[in-house]
Amino acid sequence: MRSIQWAMALTAAALLLNVTSAAADCTRPQSKVSIPDGATATEQELQTARQGLLKLDQDIGEYLRCIKGETSQATVGKDPQAREQLLKSYVASNNAAADELRGLAACFDAQLETYRSSKGGAGGKAADCSSHMAAVKENLTPAPAPGGTPPPSAFVKEADGYSVELEGGAWSYTLIRDETPRRCAKIDKPCVRRTVFVTNGSDQELECKAYVKYEGTDAEGRAQTESQAVVLRKTVRAVVASLAETGVSASTFEAVCTPRAPLPPLKTEANCKYEVVKPVNISDFYPPEARQLDEQGPVVVEFTVPGKASSPTDVKVAASSLSPRLDQGAVQAVSAMIMSSPCKNQRYRLRLNFQLEE
């Protein structure tokens, strides 16, 4: 009998909650996954459940990207109160879908452990997942069995870096190891994910570079993984992330951040506000290569609105994401919009944020 390996990295389980209400064309997938009872399950039943969860994970990932894209376009040009309502609606839709997947995954993990200890049975019995679904919804962990111990967190703080004082606060960085079960496709071995997070408590935007160096190599065969990112004021941001085979340790890590110079004010006439008449789905302009390289970040784009119901002209990047691919995607997205302004040929700026789900 082949052994069963649980190696699914769930899209929704670690999703960062940023953003919409689901419109008609964003249909939440209906779960048809049946989790077998581990004490009586067969290996085939567990394999079928695992495949079902992987498919549901993909479907929910697409659904979350869809509603996130809708919110991205729906919030453009809206006043703060309208934006807040759209964001609250998104969070509700996002949480409901993510919680369902996390609850089913937690239930599967529990039944898999039962199967491994009991060796299963003849099959045909479904597990009761209600406690896992309720625990996820309440952001709790089910109580351990009498005499048992709570399961450990998958996230481990490996080390803290320096803290640097700036105007209005300080920034610091931390190396976090995520031991959520996953398998690196390239080396076909169990892996862990390490991420250098920068916490920006200052009133300034930062341009940060970070690296993780290994005692060996990461899953891509590199001795050192490095990247750069913009960290907005009063936020926490992952600057570099890397997968490495379980057992391969990180030797050193570091982040270096410098304050970003503020943009000069635009010479836009008073009371000349623009409106987005025809928005776009920002995710449609996320460059595929940038997705593959895990490039994320904000881009500030500057443009001219000729008048009413016009395409923006002279579109250019005013503040880079530090990724040329994302910068180009932002320029293309703004260029594809239709905007309107009561004043002719006025300059405006718009921040677009490219963000991937984990």
Predicted confidence at residue 150, as pLDDT, reads 45
Quick one: DSSP state of residue 283?
G
- The residue out of 143, 163, 195 marking a domain boundary is 143
- Nearest Cα neighbor of 257 from 299, 228, 234, 235 is 228
Pairwise CA distance, residues 234 & 203, whole Å = 7
- Do both 195 and 160 map to the same domain? yes
Pairwise CA distance, residues 251 & 216, whole Å = 9
H/E element, 66: helix 43-75
Q: How many domains does the chain have?
A: 3
Q: pTM for this one? A: 0.57
- Do both 170 and 238 map to the same domain? yes
- Do both 2 and 57 map to the same domain? yes
- Do both 166 and 243 map to the same domain? yes
Residues forming a β-bridge with 313: 304
Q: Could you list the pLDDT tens digit for every one of the 358 residues in the chain?
A: 223 333 333 433 333 333 333 334 677 887 788 899 988 989 888 888 888 888 888 787 777 777 766 666 666 656 667 766 776 776 677 777 777 888 888 888 888 888 888 888 888 899 888 888 877 666 544 444 444 444 455 788 888 888 899 988 899 999 999 888 888 888 888 999 999 999 999 999 999 999 999 999 999 999 999 999 999 988 888 899 999 999 999 999 999 999 999 999 998 888 899 999 998 888 899 999 998 888 888 999 999 999 989 999 999 999 999 999 999 999 999 999 999 999 999 999 999 989 876 5
- Do both 172 and 59 map to the same domain? no
- Do both 314 and 282 map to the same domain? yes
Contact (CB, 8 A) for 56 and 36 = no
Pairwise CA distance, residues 255 & 157, whole Å = 16
- Do both 7 and 127 map to the same domain? yes
Q: Which CATH number does the domain housing residue 299 bear?
A: 3.30.2420.10
- Do both 132 and 40 map to the same domain? yes
> Range of 160's domain?
155-259
- Do both 225 and 135 map to the same domain? no
- The residue out of 259, 291, 317 marking a domain boundary is 259
Pairwise CA distance, residues 330 & 351, whole Å = 9
